[in-house]
C-alpha cells in the first residue's frame, strides 16, 4: 500500500499524483516506469515515472483517464492508498554524452518527456523542447518545460496555444532552419512518434521513442509487451521501454495496443456508471 | 497382509464434460477408507527405491505405513521432515518418473499411488490441524530469499525452522510464484498455496511483495545495506520463448506465461476481474509440456475448441502423463508431428489461421529423443483465432545484469555448485529454474532444500 501525498488536476482528463514510495524513489531514473494496481481485484497497469524526490521518498505519476483503471485511480484522493506500486522498471533513458537534443512530446506523453528534458538540461545538454496538445485547455507542464529547455516550441492542433500545427511540422522547421541534434527523443501517441521518426529518418538523426505497450508483470515474464524492433522481437519491459525509433514497427504496435479495446471500453463505461451511482 | 490389488485406487474426479467448463479442482482426493486401502498396497520394501526416486527424499514407506494404520497426523509429520509443500507436490509432481516410476508394485500392475497418498495426508492435516507451526528461537542471522516460488518457499521454510530470520522478496503483488501465476486453480487450488505461505509467516518469515530484486533493490544492497548475510536466488524462469515465425506478434498470439498469468494470477476467467482475456473460438497451443497442457485446458474452460500442436509424437510428450490424459478426456485435440511455420492475420491484425509443417522422427538428438524432421512440401493451413506458445523460457537477465561477479551459463542460467547451490559470489546461492531453465516444482524444491542446508552450513561456520 502506497500513500498518495498530493493530487493535482492538471487538466480535465489528466491528473498528477505524488506517491510515497521511498525504495522506488531511491532508484528511479527518467525513462523508467512503475506498475500499479488500484485495488485488490484491479488489473496491473504500467505508468512512466514523471518525477521523483529521493529525499522525500516520493514518486510522481501523471496519468490520463482513458479506462476503468485510470478512472478508479482518479477517484483516489490525497491521504488515500494505491494497493500495489512496484518499480522502477525498464531501463533508464540514455543521456550520457549528449550535447544537443530535441525532446518531442505529445499530449500526456509530455509527462514522461519532462523528466528526460529536466535531466538533460540539468546535466548541461542543450535541450529544445517541442510539445503538442490538441488545444490550450489540455496543456500540461508548460512552466516546467519552459524552465528546462533553451528553446521551447508550443504547438496545438487548433491553434489555441502556441502555433497551430503538429509537432512534426515544428521539428522539421527547426531542422531545416539549420539546427542539428545528437538525438531526438520522442514520447507521445504511437502515431505521433511514428511520424516524428519518419521526419528524423529523412535527416538521418538518431531517434529514441518511448513505448508503452500492454503489460502484466513488467519484469520479463509474460511477453505481452513484445514489439518488433529491427525485425526482432523485443520486450518493452526489460529491453526498453525506449527503442531506436527508426527500427520500431509502429503499425504492429498500434494494432497490438488495440487488442482489448472493446473490453476496455465496456469496463470504462461500467466504472463510470458505478461512480455516478455512488454520487 | 498387503493388499495385492494390481491397480491403484482410481482418483475420484469431476466428470470430463463437467470440469472442462469450470475452474474447480479436477481431482477430488481419496477419502480415509480409500487411502488406508491404497496404503496397504505398499510392500514396505527393504530397499526403498521410491525414496531414491524422490528429489527431496521423503521416507515414503514410513509415511505410507502410518496411513495404513490410520495415523494420518503421524504420516504428515514424517513427510514434513523432508518436504515443506506436500499438498502442492501431491498434486503436481511427475510421480510416474520419480517415486512411482521405481515402485516395485509397478513391475506387475500399477505402482502404489504415492502422490495421491501424499496429497491425502497433506489435505487431512490441513483440515484437521488448526495448529500453526511455532517460530523457533531466533539464531540472529538474516537471510534474503529472492522469489516466492517452490524453490524460494522451500529454502525459506527450511532456514526459518532453524531459527534464521528470512525475508522473501517477490516481484509480483502476490506470493507463490509459478504456483499462483502458472499452475491453474483446477490443478492446484490457490487456497492451498496461500496456506503454505501462511505456515511460513507463522514460522517468522517476512514476505515482501512488489519488490523487484535487480531494480528496486540489488543483491549487493541486500548484503551491504540491509544486513543479509546470505542470499538465495530463486527467481524462476524468465522470458518466454517464441518461434520467430511470421505473424507471431498478431493479436491473439500469447505466450503461455501471459495467457496463464491473466487467468491464474489476475483471475481473468472471473466476470468481475478487471484484467481482460480473449475469449477465442479456436485455439492452437504449441508445445507438449505441462505448461502447454495447462494453457490448453484453461482455453477449453473459456469455451474454445482447443488443439495442441506438438512436433514429436505422443510418446515424447514431456508433460506428466496424468495431465495429458486429463486434457484428452476434456476434449482437447492433439496434432502430433506438426510444427507451425506461419500465423496469418486478418485485416484488423487478428489471428485468422496457422500453417503447420508436418514432421517425421529422425535420429535421436542431444536430449536422447528422436529429432523431428520436416517432410518436404507437407504443409496444412487451419483456421484459428488464437495461438498460445508454450515453448519454455530463457532466464531473466535482471539479476544477472545487476549483480557484480555473478557467473552465468552462455544461455543465461546461473552457474552453481551442484552439491550446495553456491554461485560464484560468496554467500549467494541459487536454485530452481533460474539455474536449470524450465523444470519441475519438485526439482526446484530440491534445489531450495540443498541451498538451505548449504547456507546453514556457511553461516554457522562464519
Interchain contact, B273 vs A41, CB within 8 Å: yes
CATH number at residue B39: 1.10.1060.10
Q: In A, which residues are within 8 Å of B254 by CB distance?
A: 223-224
Same-domain pairing of B272 and B376:
yes
Same-domain pairing of B260 and B346:
yes
Same-domain pairing of A116 and A45:
no
Closest Cβ–Cβ partner in A43, A220, A252 for B274: A43
CA separation for the pair A62, A72 (Å, rounded): 14
C-alpha cell at A161: 496555444
Q: Is residue A226 part of a domain?
A: no
Same-domain pairing of B264 and B357:
yes
Q: Is residue B348 part of a domain?
A: yes
CATH number at residue A13: 2.40.30.10
Q: In A, which residues are within 8 Å of B181 by CB distance?
A: 217, 221
Residue ending a domain, among B94, B128, B162, is: B128
Are the CB atoms for B234 and B151 separated by under 8 Å? yes
Q: In A, which residues are within 8 Å of B278 by CB distance?
A: 259
Q: In B, which residues are within 8 Å of A262 by CB distance?
A: none
Q: Is residue A196 part of a domain?
A: yes
CA separation for the pair A115, A167 (Å, rounded): 19
The string of pLDDT tens digits covering residues A203-241 is 999 999 999 999 999 998 999 999 999 999 999 999 999
Q: Is residue B20 part of a domain?
A: no
Residue ending a domain, among B76, B102, B128, is: B128
**Which pLDDT band, with edges at 50, 70 and 90, does B396 fall under?**
confident
Nearest 5 degrees, angle CA B51-CA B52-CA B54?
65
| Range 378-417 of B in CB contact (< 8 A) with A | 396-398
DSSP alpha helices (H): ranges in A108-247? 110-122, 142-147, 167-176, 190-203, 236-239
Residue ending a domain, among A89, A123, A143, is: A89
The string of pLDDT tens digits covering residues B193-228 is 999 899 899 999 999 999 999 999 999 999 999 999
DSSP secondary structure of B230-272: EEEE-----EEP----TTTTSBTEEEHHHHHIIIIIS-TTSTT
Same-domain pairing of A119 and A188:
yes
The string of pLDDT tens digits covering residues B140-169 is 999 999 999 999 999 999 999 999 999 999
Unique residue bearing C-alpha cell 491521504: A79
Same-domain pairing of A110 and A68:
no
pLDDT over 70 percentage in chain A: 99
Same-domain pairing of B74 and B211:
no
Query: What is the count of structural domains for chain B?
Result: 3
The string of pLDDT tens digits covering residues B433-442 is 999 988 888 8
The string of pLDDT tens digits covering residues B261-288 is 999 999 998 888 888 889 999 999 999 9
Report the pLDDT value the prediction gives residue A278, as an integer from 0 to 100. 52
The string of pLDDT tens digits covering residues B287-328 is 999 999 999 999 999 999 999 999 999 999 999 898 999 999
Burial of B7 by CB count in 10 Å (0-12 exposed, 13-18 middle, 19+ buried)? exposed
Same-domain pairing of A177 and A137:
yes
A238 touching chain B per CB within 8 A: yes
Closest Cβ–Cβ partner in A221, A233, A264 for B242: A233
Q: Is residue A229 part of a domain?
A: no
Same-domain pairing of B385 and B406:
no
Query: What is the count of structural domains for chain A?
Result: 2
SS3 A111: helix
Indicate yes or no: pTM above 0.90: yes
Is residue B132 predicted with pLDDT exceeding 90?
no
Interchain contact, B209 vs A84, CB within 8 Å: yes
Closest Cβ–Cβ partner in B172, B238, B249 for A256: B249
Those residues with Cβ within 8 angstroms of residue B150's Cβ, 6 or more apart along the chain or in another chain = B85, B88, B177, B178, B179, B234, B432, B441, B442, B444, B445, B448
Same-domain pairing of A77 and A50:
yes
In whole numbers, what is the pLDDT of chain B averaged over residues? 94
Q: Is B369 left (phi over 0), alpha (psi -120 to 50) or beta?
A: beta
B76 touching chain A per CB within 8 A: no
| Range 31-60 of A in CB contact (< 8 A) with B | 37, 41-44
CA separation for the pair A159, A144 (Å, rounded): 21
Same-domain pairing of A103 and A182:
yes
Unique residue bearing C-alpha cell 486434457: B327
Same-domain pairing of A111 and A185:
yes
Strand partners, A20: A58
Find, among B178, B219, B172, the residue nearest to B402 by Cα.
B219
Find, among B89, B79, B85, B74, the residue nearest to B59 by Cα.
B79
The string of pLDDT tens digits covering residues A112-166 is 899 999 999 999 999 999 999 999 999 999 999 999 999 999 999 999 999 999 9
Q: In B, which residues are within 8 Å of A49 by CB distance?
A: none
Which domain covers residue A18, as residue numbers? 2-89
CA separation for the pair B351, B250 (Å, rounded): 6
Are the CB atoms for A233 and A239 separated by under 8 Å? no
Are the CB atoms for B142 and B164 separated by under 8 Å? yes
Same-domain pairing of B372 and B426:
no
Report the pLDDT value the prediction gives residue B395, as an integer from 0 to 100. 79
Element (H, E) at B370: strand B370-383
Report the pLDDT value the prediction gives residue A277, as an integer from 0 to 100. 62
**CA distance readout (Å), B428 to B18, B212, B233, B419:** 48, 17, 7, 14
Is residue B457 predicted with pLDDT exceeding 90?
yes
Measured in whole angstroms, the distance separating CA A258 from the mean position of its chain's CA atoms is 18
Same-domain pairing of A139 and A82:
no
Closest Cβ–Cβ partner in A85, A216, A259 for B251: A259
Residue ending a domain, among A89, A124, A146, is: A89
Q: Is residue A230 part of a domain?
A: no
Report the pLDDT value the prediction gives residue A279, as an integer from 0 to 100. 47
Which domain covers residue B436, as residue numbers? 142-238+393-460
Residue ending a domain, among B128, B163, B194, is: B128
The string of pLDDT tens digits covering residues B72-129 is 999 999 999 888 888 999 998 889 889 999 999 999 999 999 999 999 999 999 999 8
Same-domain pairing of A204 and A103:
yes
CA-nearest residue to A258 within chain B is: B251
Q: Is B16 left (phi over 0), alpha (psi -120 to 50) or beta?
A: alpha
Q: Is residue B17 part of a domain?
A: no
Q: In B, which residues are within 8 Å of A265 by CB distance?
A: none
**CA distance readout (Å), B42 to A245, B56, B71, B86:** 66, 20, 16, 19
CATH number at residue A117: 3.40.50.80
| Range 81-120 of A in CB contact (< 8 A) with B | 83-89
Same-domain pairing of B78 and B107:
yes
Same-domain pairing of B331 and B195:
no
Residue ending a domain, among A89, A124, A140, is: A89
ipTM: 0.92
Q: Is residue B15 part of a domain?
A: no
C-alpha cell at A181: 541534434
Chains A, B: CB pairs < 8 Å: 116
Same-domain pairing of A67 and A100:
no
Tell which of B236, B275, B295 to mutate to test the A interface (max A CBs under 10 Å). B275
CA-nearest residue to A249 within chain B is: B249
CA-nearest residue to A92 within chain B is: B215
The string of pLDDT tens digits covering residues A24-40 is 999 999 999 999 999 98
Same-domain pairing of A178 and A153:
yes
Same-domain pairing of B305 and B223:
no
Q: Is residue B11 part of a domain?
A: no
Q: Is residue B8 part of a domain?
A: no
Report the pLDDT value the prediction gives residue A268, as an integer from 0 to 100. 84
Strand partners, B342: B355
Beta strand spans in B311-369 (E) = 333-336, 338-345, 351-364
Those residues with Cβ within 8 angstroms of residue A67's Cβ, 6 or more apart along the chain or in another chain = A264, A267, A268
Output the CA torsion sign for B119, B122, B126, B128.
positive
DSSP secondary structure of B125-183: HHHH--PPPPPPPP-S-EEEEE--SHHHHHHHHHHHHTT-EEEEE-SSSSS-THHHHTS
Question: β-strands B253-255, B386-389: how paired?
Answer: parallel
Amino acid at each position: 500500500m502506497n500513500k498518495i501525498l498530493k493530487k493535482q488536476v492538471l487538466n480535465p482528463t489528466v491528473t498528477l499524483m505524488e506517491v510515497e514510495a521511498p525504495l522506488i524513489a531511491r532508484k528511479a531514473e527518467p525513462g523508467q516506469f512503475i506498475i500499479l494496481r488500484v485495488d485488490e481485484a484491479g488489473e496491473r497497469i504500467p505508468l512512466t515515472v514523471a518525477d521523483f524526490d529521493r529525499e522525500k521518498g516520493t514518486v510522481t505519476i501523471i496519468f490520463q483517464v482513458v479506462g476503468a483503471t485510470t478512472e478508479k485511480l482518479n477517484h483516489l484522493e490525497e491521504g488515500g492508498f494505491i494497493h500495489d506500486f512496484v518499480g522502477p522498471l525498464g531501463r533508464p533513458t540514455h543521456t550520457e554524452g549528449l550535447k544537443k537534443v530535441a525532446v518531442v512530446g505529445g499530449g500526456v506523453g509530455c509527462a514522461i518527456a519532462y523528466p528526460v528534458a529536466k535531466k538533460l538540461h540539468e546535466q548541461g545538454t542543450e535541450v529544445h523542447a517541442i510539445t503538442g496538445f490538441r488545444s490550450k485547455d489540455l496543456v500540461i507542464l508548460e512552466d516546467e518545460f519552459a524552465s528546462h529547455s533553451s528553446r521551447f516550441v508550443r504547438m496545438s492542433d487548433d491553434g489555441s496555444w502556441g502555433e497551430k500545427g503538429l509537432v512534426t511540422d515544428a521539428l522539421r522547421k527547426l531542422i531545416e532552419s539549420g539546427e542539428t541534434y545528437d538525438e531526438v527523443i520522442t514520447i507521445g501517441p504511437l502515431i505521433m512518434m511514428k511520424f516524428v521518426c519518419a521526419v528524423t529518418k529523412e535527416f538521418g538523426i538518431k531517434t529514441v521513442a518511448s513505448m508503452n505497450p500492454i503489460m502484466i508483470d513488467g519484469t520479463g515474464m509474460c511477453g505481452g509487451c513484445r514489439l518488433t524492433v529491427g525485425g526482432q522481437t523485443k520486450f518493452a519491459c526489460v529491453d526498453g521501454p525506449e527503442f531506436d525509433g527508426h527500427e520500431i514497427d509502429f503499425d504492429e504496435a498500434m494494432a497490438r495496443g488495440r487488442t482489448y479495446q472493446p473490453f476496455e471500453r465496456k469496463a470504462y463505461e461500467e466504472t463510470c456508471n458505478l461512480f455516478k451511482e455512488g454520487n | 497382509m498387503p493388499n495385492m490389488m494390481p491397480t491403484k485406487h482410481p482418483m475420484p474426479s469431476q466428470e470430463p464434460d463437467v470440469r472442462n467448463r469450470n475452474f474447480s479442482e479436477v481431482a477430488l482426493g481419496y477419502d480415509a477408507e480409500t487411502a488406508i486401502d491404497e496404503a496397504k498396497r505398499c510392500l514396505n520394501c527393504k530397499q526403498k527405491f521410491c525414496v531414491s526416486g524422490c528429489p527431496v527424499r521423503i521416507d515414503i514407506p514410513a509415511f505410507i505405513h502410518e496411513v495404513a494404520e490410520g495415523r494420518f497426523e503421524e504420516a504428515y509429520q514424517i513427510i514434513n521432515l523432508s518436504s515443506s509443500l506436500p499438498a502442492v507436490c501431491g498434486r503436481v509432481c511427475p510421480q510416474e518418473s520419480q517415486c512411482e516410476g521405481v515402485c516395485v508394485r509397478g513391475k506387475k500392475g500399477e505402482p502404489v499411488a504415492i502422490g495421491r497418498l501424499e496429497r491425502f495426508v497433506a489435505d487431512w492435516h490441513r483440515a484437521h490441524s488448526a495448529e500453526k507451526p511455532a517460530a523457533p528461537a531466533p539464531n540472529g542471522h538474516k537471510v534474503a530469499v529472492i522469489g516466492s516460488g517452490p524453490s524460494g518457499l522451500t529454502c525459506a521454510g527450511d532456514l526459518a525452522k532453524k531459527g534464521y530470520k528470512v525475508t522473501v522478496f517477490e516481484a509480483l503483488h502476490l506470493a507463490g510464484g509459478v504456483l499462483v501465476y502458472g499452475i491453474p486453480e483446477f490443478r492446484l487450488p490457490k487456497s492451498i498455496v496461500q496456506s503454505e505461505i501462511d505456515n511460513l509467516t507463522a514460522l517468522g518469515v517476512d514476505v515482501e511483495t512488489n519488490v523487484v530484486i535487480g531494480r528496486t533493490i540489488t543483491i549487493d544492497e541486500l548484503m551491504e545495506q540491509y544486513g543479509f548475510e546470505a542470499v538465495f536466488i530463486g527467481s524462476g524462469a524468465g522470458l518466454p520463448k517464441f518461434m520467430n515465425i511470421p505473424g507471431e506478434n498478431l493479436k491473439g498470439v500469447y505466450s503461455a506465461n501471459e495467457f496463464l498469468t491473466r487467468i491464474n494470477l489476475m483471475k481473468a476467467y472471473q466476470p468481475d476481474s478487471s484484467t481482460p482475456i480473449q475469449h477465442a473460438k479456436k485455439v492452437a497451443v504449441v508445445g507438449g509440456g505441462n505448461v502447454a497442457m495447462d494453457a490448453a485446458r484453461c482455453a477449453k474452460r473459456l469455451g474454445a475448441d482447443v488443439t495442441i500442436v506438438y512436433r514429436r509424437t505422443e510418446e515424447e510428450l514431456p508433460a506428466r502423463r496424468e495431465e495429458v490424459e486429463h486434457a484428452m478426456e476434456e476434449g482437447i485435440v492433439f496434432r502430433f508431428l506438426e510444427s507451425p511455420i506461419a500465423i496469418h492475420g486478418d485485416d484488423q491484425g487478428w489471428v485468422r489461421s496457422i500453417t503447420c509443417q508436418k514432421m517425421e522422427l529422425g535420429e535421436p538428438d542431444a536430449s536422447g529423443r528422436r529429432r523431428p524432421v520436416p517432410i518436404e512440401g507437407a504443409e496444412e493451413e487451419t483456421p484459428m483465432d488464437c495461438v498460445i506458445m508454450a515453448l519454455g523460457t530463457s532466464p531473466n537477465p535482471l539479476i544477472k545484469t545487476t549483480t557484480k561477479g555473478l557467473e552465468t551459463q552462455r544461455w543465461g542460467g546461473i552457474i552453481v555448485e551442484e552439491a550446495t547451490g553456491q554461485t560464484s559470489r560468496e554467500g549467494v546461492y541459487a536454485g530452481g529454474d533460474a539455474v536449470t531453465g524450465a523444470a519441475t516444482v519438485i526439482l526446484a524444491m530440491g534445489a531450495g532444500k540443498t541451498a538451505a542446508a548449504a547456507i546453514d552450513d556457511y553461516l554457522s561456520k562464519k
